[in-house]
Amino acid sequence: MELNKYQQELFNHQRPVIEKFGARTWKWTIFFLLWIGLGGYALYLQIAKGHTVTGMRDNVVWGLYIANFIFFIGISYAGAVISGILHILKVEWRKPIIRIAEMVTVISTIIGPVFILLCVGRLDRLHHLFLYPRLQSPITWDVFAIGTYFTGSVIFLYLALIKDFAIYRDAKLNIPKWQQKMYKILAIGYRGTKGQKRHIRISTNLLAIMIIPLAIIVHSVLSWIFGMTLRPGWHSTIFGPYFVLAAIYSGTGVLIMAMWVYRKMYKLGNYIQDKHFIYLGYIMMVLGAAYGYFTFSEYLTDWFGSEKWSNEVIDKIFNPAKYGWWFLFTNIAGILLPIFIVAFPKTRKPGWITIASFFMVIALWVKRYLIIVPTLESPLLPMQDTRTEYVKYSATWVEWALTFAGIATFFLFFTLLSKFVTIIPISEFGGKEKPVVTTKDSAEENEIAPA
Amino acid sequence: MEEELNKPGIKTNRKDFLKKGLFAGSVLATGAVGISSLTSCSNNSGKKIKVLTADGKLVEVDSNVIIEAHPCCAAPAKESRKGIPGKKFVMVIDLSRCKHALKCQDACQRYHHLSGMNVWLKVFKMHDAETMAPYWMPKPCLHCDKPPCVKVCPVSATYKRDDGIVLVDNDRCIGCRFCMAACPYSTRSFNWEEPQYLSETKGAVYSPELGFPQKKGTVEKCDFCPDMLRQGKLPHCVTACPNGVFYMGDLNEDSVSNGAETVRFSQLMKDKGGYRLNEILGTEPSVYYLPPVNRLFPFKDVEITKENTEETK
């Protein structure tokens, strides 16, 4: 593969990352593996003793695991937004960040469903989902929707990678043989001929168009697991769009954080520029406002209507003695903070926007918890159980350990994948565009350092 | 065996243990009777029954602790999906007669070998508003005609039969607990840990119509005792109630019985103003309630404490 001047410069910059694993990467990998190991022990306990080791009981039948499931599927929308929508709109500045976005998508779509598996009581019977499928059940819809979405996302990521694999293959990188061979296989004989280029272009366009409705379907169906029941706080018509919006919103937040980390870690200031943070910041601000609007109308209608059963849930969410402070936190950190940070020019800086994203993403995780638990703690018939753990949910260390193991897996996959492919797609910088504009603050980060 | 009985949550003492040892012997000898679960020793009925033990001794035991070990009439899993032909079961619960004796719950726990934390038949203290009078409300599974739990099951482990009964097949259940989240009547329980079996239920052949042996990681609930219904008998809660609160019957025949009297279902509804729980949800339950008017017993408040729930386990 012939590289142009810009591509060569970019490739030289990222080459050491692929060629050397580095002591720092080893340290992080081991750190993540330790967390995963702890999670493995927790999982062993859960399988051996049953779900009695979790905080879930007959009333609150779902807890942290389901919150994590929604959360991870939610952040997978990073790819859908940046790669899908921005691709269709032919937004040029997206190019340096599409790889990160699609990696977030694929990795979190792997981890999300794992949490469903952790929640299920009989892992040995998962094949029943295919042996005796019932089309009426929203879970069956989810299995198909997430399966399709995952396949689509993997293909989308791969399509964007084929050209890069060809570059790695031809670059005579100083890497082990198996890795060379791997690139060769994955490049599937791409030589950059006119026909090959055309095929990739058409397939990418098609997938970009497909991935958007797919993403909408996935989170709608997910919300309907709750929306289809007769439970107060769940049985809401706006749950589909509300969940989809929250997902895109949190996905943008995670993307911003990932960009910030990689820019720092691999000195990519020339490519992931301030403008990327600011543009994504604008997107985040708009989504934040829309999310705030949905939140407001959802809780306002429930509170104003003041039906007996809704009231119980609303009371739990608004009451400072119950979940009130958490709810306030989700609204301040999850809605107001990102809007104000981006709105004021003084704070419209990569650092500030990243901090806002960080709090927003945490707030949205808490919000998922607040959607699940208070409703389950408010059954329609009075709860007259004398066993306190049956009345109020509190997650056990097993659930927390597995939650952190999931987060560690996310980081681990990210770390490993970024050692295998370049974080900035090289082939995207072909032809017309002149990508490298050295900004003031990124100039000092310009030198190459092996990770 | 002593070790097994001493697991947490099971009350036992040396005397009980000895008794149970004897009972187990009697089961071996006769093959026809088994011994009820753990709670039984605290509820003596006063009636004694003679039982032959394995070593040939004749012993007297309380009638309350004897149950049939292997009910004859539960259909296997596949057949249990069809239901009993020509039937449409309904239950009527007369709230004016309930005094929170909990005999229904005792019998239910015992006959379904519910030795763990799970209670199939709950008795709620209902007090809808300050200005209203409190009353007791026994609540089995309502076996809805439009069951929200069945709708959401991804593997058809819970199903609605032609005779109106909703069952759970714990050989198929994957334990996702969606049905529990979907049930608006807090009916279902989950086996959060390995169920504590009694020796006589070990080796029992599972049928969704029996509901035992229970399995870890699966959902269970009240099943209207279809094994009894198949024999033309009444469910255990109906026969156990000393006040005739429960009526069970067939909507097609328009008759329900509480064991002591058999009445026309439609007439009962008309005379006493029958209603269904949370009709507004559109679930169309098969269980009807008669309002707590002209009560047989004054409402005596019982603080629902740890102790009296322990007893009902």
Answer whether B124 sits within 8 Å of A229, measured CB to CB.
no
Element (H, E) at B124: strand B122-126
Element (H, E) at B266: helix B265-272
Residue A270 lies in a domain: yes
Average pLDDT, stretch B280-293?
A: 95
Which of B171, B159, B188 has the alpha carbon at shortest distance from B83?
Answer: B159
Over the stretch B163-184, which tens digit does the pLDDT of each residue have?
999 999 999 999 999 999 999 9
Determine the Cα angle at A397 with ends A396 and A400, to 5°: 95
Residue A3: how many CB atoms within 10 A of its CB?
18
User: pTM here?
Assistant: 0.85
Predicted confidence band at A287 (pLDDT cuts at 50, 70, 90)? very high
Answer whether B174 sits within 8 Å of A120, measured CB to CB.
yes
Residues B132 and B12 in one domain: no
Q: Which of A132, A137, A379 minimises the CB distance to B172?
A: A132
Predicted confidence band at B12 (pLDDT cuts at 50, 70, 90)? very low
- pLDDT of amino acid B67: 53
Residue B10 lies in a domain: yes
Residues B95 and B207 in one domain: yes
Nearest CA in chain A to B159: A134
Q: Do residues A333 and A360 make contact, with C-beta atoms less than 8 angstroms apart?
A: yes
- pLDDT of amino acid B40: 38
Question: Distance from A141 to chain B by nearest Cα, in Å?
Answer: 9
- pLDDT of amino acid B198: 61
A234 φ, ψ (degrees, to nearest 5) = -110, -40
CA dihedral B129, B134, B135, B138 (to 10 degrees): 50
Q: Which of B122, B188, B194 minimises the CB distance to A50?
A: B194
Residue B158 lies in a domain: yes
Question: Distance from A328 to chain B by nearest Cα, in Å?
Answer: 26
Answer whether A140 sits within 8 Å of B154, measured CB to CB.
yes
Predicted confidence band at A429 (pLDDT cuts at 50, 70, 90)? confident
Residues B90 and B124 in one domain: yes
C-alpha to C-alpha distance for B95 and B298, rounded to whole angstroms: 12
Q: Output the CA–CA distances (angstroms, integers) from residue A3 to A9, A341, A402, B83, B102, in the order listed.
A: 9, 40, 45, 72, 82
What CATH number has the domain bearing residue A92?
1.20.1630.10
Q: Do residues B121 and A391 make contact, with C-beta atoms less than 8 angstroms apart?
A: no
If one compares B282 and A385, the residue with the highest pLDDT of the two is B282
Answer whether B182 sits within 8 Å of A230, measured CB to CB.
yes
Residue B306 lies in a domain: no
How many beta-carbon pairs below 8 A join chains A and B? 137
Q: Which of A52, A139, A381 minimises the CB distance to B185?
A: A381
- Strands B89-94 vs B287-290: parallel, antiparallel or unpaired: parallel
Question: What is the token pair recorded at A449?
Answer: 């350092």
Answer whether B172 sits within 8 Å of A383, measured CB to CB.
no
Answer whether A384 sits within 8 Å of B124, measured CB to CB.
yes
- pLDDT of amino acid B8: 40
Over the stretch A232-273, which tens digit does the pLDDT of each residue have?
999 999 999 999 999 999 999 999 999 999 999 888 888 888
Answer whether B185 sits within 8 Å of A380, measured CB to CB.
yes
Residues B129 and B235 in one domain: yes
The number of domains in chain A is 1
Domain that holds residue B39: 2-68
Residue A14 lies in a domain: yes
Residue A297 lies in a domain: yes
- pLDDT of amino acid A365: 97
Helix residue spans in A171-193 (DSSP H): 177-186
Predicted confidence (pLDDT) at residue B34 exceeds the cutoff of 50: no
- pLDDT of amino acid B36: 40
Answer whether A121 sits within 8 Å of B155, measured CB to CB.
no
Answer whether B175 sits within 8 Å of A122, measured CB to CB.
yes
Predicted confidence (pLDDT) at residue B72 exceeds the cutoff of 50: yes
CA dihedral B286, B292, B293, B299 (to 10 degrees): 160
Residues B98 and B125 in one domain: yes
Average pLDDT, stretch A393-399?
A: 94
- pLDDT of amino acid B20: 44
Nearest CA in chain B to A308: B128
Across chain A, mean pLDDT equals: 90
If one compares A433 and B252, the residue with the highest pLDDT of the two is B252
Answer whether B186 sits within 8 Å of A380, measured CB to CB.
yes
Q: Do residues B171 and B206 make contact, with C-beta atoms less than 8 angstroms apart?
A: yes
Residue A330 lies in a domain: yes
C-alpha to C-alpha distance for A119 and A124, rounded to whole angstroms: 13
Answer whether B176 sits within 8 Å of A121, measured CB to CB.
yes
ipTM: 0.88
Average pLDDT, stretch A7-23?
A: 85
- pLDDT of amino acid A8: 85
Answer whether B152 sits within 8 Å of A137, measured CB to CB.
yes
Q: How would DSSP label each residue in B98-110? A: -----HHHHHHHH
Residue B43 lies in a domain: yes
Nearest CA in chain B to A58: B189
B248 φ, ψ (degrees, to nearest 5) = -125, 145
- pLDDT of amino acid B18: 39
Q: Output the CA–CA distances (angstroms, integers) from residue A363 to A348, A368, B281, B298, in the order listed.
A: 20, 9, 33, 51
- pLDDT of amino acid A301: 92
C-alpha to C-alpha distance for A341 and A363, rounded to whole angstroms: 15
- The answer to whether residue A133 neighbours chain B at the CB level (below 8 Å) is yes
Question: Distance from B268 to chain A by nearest Cα, in Å?
Answer: 26
**What's the first-to-final CA gap in chain A, in angstroms?**
26
Answer whether B177 sits within 8 Å of A52, measured CB to CB.
no
- pLDDT of amino acid A16: 85
Residues B148 and B235 in one domain: yes
- pLDDT of amino acid B63: 64
Across chain B, mean pLDDT equals: 80
Q: Output the CA–CA distances (angstroms, integers) from residue A386 to A167, A420, A448, B180, B190, in the order listed.
A: 66, 55, 63, 19, 17
Question: Distance from B7 to chain A by nearest Cα, in Å?
Answer: 14
SS3 label, residue B48: strand
Chain B residue numbers touching A61 (CB-CB < 8 A) = 177, 180-181, 190
Over the stretch B87-144, which tens digit does the pLDDT of each residue have?
999 999 999 999 999 999 999 988 888 866 789 999 999 998 889 999 999 999 999 9
Chain B residue numbers touching A229 (CB-CB < 8 A) = 148, 152, 181-182, 184
What CATH number has the domain bearing residue B235?
3.30.70.20
- pLDDT of amino acid A442: 44
Answer whether B190 sits within 8 Å of A51, measured CB to CB.
yes
- The answer to whether residue A58 neighbours chain B at the CB level (below 8 Å) is yes
Q: Which of A376, A380, A386 minimises the CB distance to B278?
A: A380
- The answer to whether residue A57 neighbours chain B at the CB level (below 8 Å) is yes
Residue A403 lies in a domain: no
Q: How would DSSP label each residue in B158-219? A: EEE-TTS-EEE-TTT-----HHHHH-TT---EE--S-----GGGTTPPP-TTT--S--TT-E
Residue B103: how many CB atoms within 10 A of its CB?
17
Residue A400 lies in a domain: no
Q: Which of B154, B184, B218 minimises the CB distance to A134?
A: B154
The number of domains in chain B is 2
Element (H, E) at B66: strand B66-68
Q: Do residues A77 and A105 make contact, with C-beta atoms less than 8 angstroms apart?
A: yes
Residue B73 lies in a domain: no
Residues B122 and B161 in one domain: yes
Residue B199: how many CB atoms within 10 A of its CB?
16
Average pLDDT, stretch A61-88?
A: 89
Query: How far is C-alpha A115 from the chain's CA centre?
Result: 14
- pLDDT of amino acid A391: 87
Average pLDDT, stretch B201-212?
A: 81
Predicted confidence band at B303 (pLDDT cuts at 50, 70, 90)? low
Predicted confidence (pLDDT) at residue B33 exceeds the cutoff of 70: no
- pLDDT of amino acid A265: 87
Question: What is the token pair recorded at B181?
Answer: 């989240």
Phi-psi category of A369—alpha, beta or left, where left has phi over 0 and alpha has psi -120 to 50? alpha
- Strands B135-139 vs B122-126: parallel, antiparallel or unpaired: antiparallel
C-alpha to C-alpha distance for A42 and A33, rounded to whole angstroms: 14
Q: Which of B117, B152, B176 minimises the CB distance to A228?
A: B152
Lowest mean per-residue pLDDT among A13-27, A181-195, B51-65, B84-98: B51-65
Interface test with chain A among B117, B155, B187, by most A beta carbons within 10 Å: B155
Residue A31 lies in a domain: no
- The answer to whether residue A113 neighbours chain B at the CB level (below 8 Å) is no
Domain that holds residue A146: 5-21+55-124+140-395+419-445
Residues B265 and B126 in one domain: yes
Residue A401 lies in a domain: no
Over the stretch B47-58, which tens digit does the pLDDT of each residue have?
677 766 656 677
C-alpha to C-alpha distance for A329 and A325, rounded to whole angstroms: 6
Nearest CA in chain B to A132: B155
Question: Distance from B145 to chain A by nearest Cα, in Å?
Answer: 15
Residue A403: how many CB atoms within 10 A of its CB?
21
If one compares A385 and B10, the residue with the highest pLDDT of the two is A385
C-alpha to C-alpha distance for B177 and A200, rounded to whole angstroms: 44
Residues B183 and B266 in one domain: yes
Residue A170: how many CB atoms within 10 A of its CB?
16
Predicted confidence (pLDDT) at residue A447 exceeds the cutoff of 50: no
C-alpha to C-alpha distance for A429 and A439, rounded to whole angstroms: 18
Question: What is the token pair recorded at B294?
Answer: 């002209």
Chain B residue numbers touching A144 (CB-CB < 8 A) = none
Residues B136 and B268 in one domain: yes
Average pLDDT, stretch A184-200?
A: 91
- pLDDT of amino acid A430: 60
Predicted confidence (pLDDT) at residue B145 exceeds the cutoff of 90: yes
- pLDDT of amino acid B30: 37
